[in-house]
Every structure is written in structure tokens, then in C-alpha cells.
Amino acid sequence: MRRRRLCLWGVAVLVAPIPLRAQPRRKARIGVLHDTARTDPAVEAMFTRLAELGWSEIRNLSVEYITFDAATTDFRPMVDALLRARCELIVALGTPPALAVKAAAPSVPMVFAVGGDPVALGLVASLARPGGNATGWTHASHEHHSKLLALVREVVPRGRRFAVMFEGANPSMRQAFDVMRGQAEAAGLTLQAFPA
């Protein structure tokens, strides 16, 4: 009886699943869309922080890093490439790539960095309760636009009409111009848009 029990335990040990720690871990896949090389200090800081949290490309992380240049307007092929690579999270640095990810893959979790209001851009429902699968940060600040207008008035105190050039394909830039134009009109100034 004892020998039989030992054999049963031996078979159970052989066919039992390997403990989770001993199994080779599947690597998590993230995709990054950015307009600078991976050696950029901000990008390096992101990967350093991931390593501090236990995420390393050597052990448990696979990264698909796609760069684009300032002239890029169609981000769909890049997003499609990240989806084919089965990325479970996409980091979109910039408004146009973030909007492309939201349009093409709304169910894929996304971390974004944009220059405009993420609520007005349709990336999140609200700042307090973003909802959905997207989160991130913005450096949009209406105070910044007010200060810029104040500087213009100091430099050209008698000026009443000013031209503003901005990247027309970037919705954040259009949003910033609209804010500035509203503030300029309240101050009796006229801003003329020249999207580049």
C-alpha cells in the first residue's frame, strides 16, 4: 500500500504542471510610436522606470519601437504594424499618433502624451474619469497662451493684427490656436492663422 501511494505521488509530480515561477514567462508586448530615436533621454527614462518596476526586455518585456518624422500624416500603417505584432499596450507620443491609435484600435490600452486637451481631442471622457482604455498626460495650458499674447503685446504694443504659423495637421496645434484667438479677441487683437 505504501509503495502504491509513493508511485501515485511520483506520477502526480511528473504530470503536474510546473510551478508558475519555474515556467518560462511569456513576454508582455508594448508598442511605442515616437518622433525621436530610442536614445532620447525621455524615452530612456521611461525604460529605466519600467526596469525599476520589474519590466526588462531581457526577462519579460518585448518592445516594438516605431519612429516617424515631422512630415508623417498617415499613422495607420504604423498602428497596423503594432497590432500585427500583438502589442498589448501602445505608447503614443504626440497627438496625431494618439488619435490614430484611438481610431484604429480603441480596445487596445494606450498611454499618450499630447499637447492639447485630451477631452476635446476625444481621447478620454474627462480628466477626472478618463474611462475607456486610454490614459496619459498633456502639457496644454491656457495660461501659457495668455503669457504668449502678453509678450506679443509688450514687443509690439501698438500692434492689433498678428499672424500665427502652426502645424496644421496636428489637432493640438489647431486647438491651441483657437484658444489664443479667443483670448486675443477678448483683448481687442486679431490673429490670422497660417497652418503650415
What pLDDT score does 82 carry? Answer: 96
Q: List, as one string, the DSSP characters of 108-128.
A: S-EEEEESS-TTTTTS-S-SS
Per-residue pLDDT of the chain (196 residues; tens, 9 = 90+): 444 343 333 333 334 444 445 555 689 999 999 988 888 888 888 889 999 999 988 889 999 999 998 888 899 999 999 999 999 999 999 899 999 999 999 999 999 988 888 888 889 988 788 888 999 888 766 666 667 777 878 888 888 888 888 777 777 777 777 878 888 888 888 888 877 6
**pLDDT, tens digit, for every residue of 45-68?**
888 999 999 998 888 999 999 999
Burial bucket for residue 151 (CB in 10 Å: 0-12, 13-18, 19+): exposed
What pLDDT score does 171 carry? Answer: 77
The residues pairing with 162 across neighbouring beta strands, listed in sequence order, are 191
65: helix, strand or coil: strand
Domains of the chain, residue spans? 25-138, 142-195
Is the pTM above the cut of 0.75? no
**pLDDT, tens digit, for every residue of 82-99?**
999 999 999 999 899 999
The residues pairing with 33 across neighbouring beta strands, listed in sequence order, are 66, 92
Task: Using DSSP bridges, classify how beta strands 134-138 and 89-93 pair: parallel, antiparallel or unpaired.
Answer: unpaired
**Which backbone phi and psi does 28 adopt, to 5 degrees?**
-70, 145
- The Cα 144–Cα 74 span in angstroms is 29
- The Cα 81–Cα 68 span in angstroms is 13
Q: Which three cell numbers mark 53?
A: 518596476
- The Cα 146–Cα 175 span in angstroms is 14
* CATH classification (class only), 25-138: alpha beta
